Each structure stands twice: as C-alpha cells, then as structure tokens.
Amino acid sequence: MKPVGLVPAAGFAERFGSDKLLVKVGERPMIEATVRSLLEGGVEKVVVVVPPLAEDIKSALTPVKGVTLVANDARERGMFSSIQAGAREADGDPILVLPGDQPWVEPATVAALLARYAEAEAIVSPRFNGKRGHPVVIPGKYRGEIVDAKEGATLHDILKTHAGERVDMDVYDRGVVRDVDVPGDLGEKAP
C-alpha cells in the first residue's frame, strides 16, 4: 500500500472573497494544514492541484516535504477537473481525495481510514453524524476511470457506479464535513 493524497485547490473562492487557502488556520495557511493532516495520517505523497501561476500557494507549501504541485488549466470546469488533473499524477494506492478547504481533518482519522481500506480494499468514506465527508479513500484501480471520465462527469458519478464496493466509516471528527466557503466558516461554531 502506497497511499497518495489528492488535494483539489484550484477553485476561484468566489464566495469567500479572497484566496481562502492562504488564510491562517491556527499557525498555518489553510492549504498547509490540509496537506499536513494527510501526511501526518500516513499518506506518503500529496498531489495538490492549483491554479496556473499559483506562486503564493507554492510558497505556502515550500516547507512541506512530499508535495507535488499540478496546475489545472481547465479549472473553470469545476472541482472534478482538478481531481482529474491530480489523478494523472497520483500514482499510489489508495488515493485519498481531500479538498484544500478542509483543514480540520485529524491525522488520526486519516490513519483510521487507511486501516479500514487495508481491511476492505473498497472505497471508504468517513461519516460524521450520518453525513459523508472527506477524505474519500479510492482504490488506485479506479484512477484511469477518473482520468478518462467525460467532461461534465463528477467524482460522485464515478463513485455511484461502484456503490456496491463502498464502505462508510463512522468517525468522531467533524473536520470530515467541515469546509470553508465564506469567512464565517472559519469560526469555532461552524458545523
């Protein structure tokens, strides 16, 4: 097992009003906190998909070892285009997809998801209070299917075709369902 993280981080952050990935979460920029949760949880490498010319994000991730940056030139097509761009470089098994605006996932949760994947060898989704979240753990054998999906497809479409091979794992980590869309989402009382 050579787990690889895939962090889509090429969005426009229109609702936030600025580059949210550089906002501090604790002592670190949000994107660094997100990437470190994967690495500290047992992922060997993280592919971060960024907008073209994202020097500020590159700088924020400079101190982090094990990161590969990939530019998404088609980011106007949405998050799945970033997942596809990252999947081209994500040569491990399994692939853990964690959006760049989810910095609160605990490394222990990542480790537990990897352990569950090792047992089940299936798609593993964390679930908090009945709601599925991220990172979603995807067997490497679906990498080509993600890369080759037609324009307009989503990750949900791919996962739905393999619903019989999906396992939900209840976790006590609200970080799996907590993302940042607007500045108010950074507050302590965010869901």
Neighbours of 38 (CB within 10 A): 26
- 133-162 per-position pLDDT tens digit: 999 999 999 999 999 999 888 999 999 999
- Give pLDDT, residue 190: 43
Q: Go through the domains of the chain in sequence order and give each one's CATH number.
A: 4-179 (3.90.550.10)
In the numeric block, the tokens 């990498």 are attached to: 143
- Give pLDDT, residue 90: 92
Q: What does the alpha-carbon distance between residue 35 and residue 23 come to, in Å, rounded to a whole number? A: 14
State the Rg of the chain over Cα: 15
- 155-182 per-position pLDDT tens digit: 999 999 998 999 999 999 999 998 766 6
In the numeric block, the tokens 């009382």 are attached to: 189
Q: What percent of the chain is predicted at pLDDT more than 90?
A: 60
Q: What does the alpha-carbon distance between residue 60 and residue 55 come to, in Å, rounded to a whole number? A: 9
- Give pLDDT, residue 15: 60
pLDDT at 30 over 80: yes
Given pLDDT bands bounded at 50, 70 and 90, which one contains residue 20?
A: confident
Overall average pLDDT of the 26-46 stretch: 93
Give the contacts of 57 (CB within 8 A, at least 6 positions apart). Answer: 9, 19, 21, 22, 31, 48, 50, 51, 69
Helix (H, G, I), strand (E, B) or coil at 127: strand
Helix (H, G, I), strand (E, B) or coil at 169: strand
Given pLDDT bands bounded at 50, 70 and 90, which one contains residue 9?
A: confident
Exposure of 146 in the CB half-sphere (CA atoms within 13 A)? 26
- 64-107 per-position pLDDT tens digit: 899 999 988 877 777 788 999 999 999 999 999 999 999 999 99
Among 3-7, 9-13, 18-22, 166-170, the range scoring the smallest mean pLDDT is: 9-13
Overall average pLDDT of the 48-53 stretch: 86
pLDDT at 128 over 80: yes
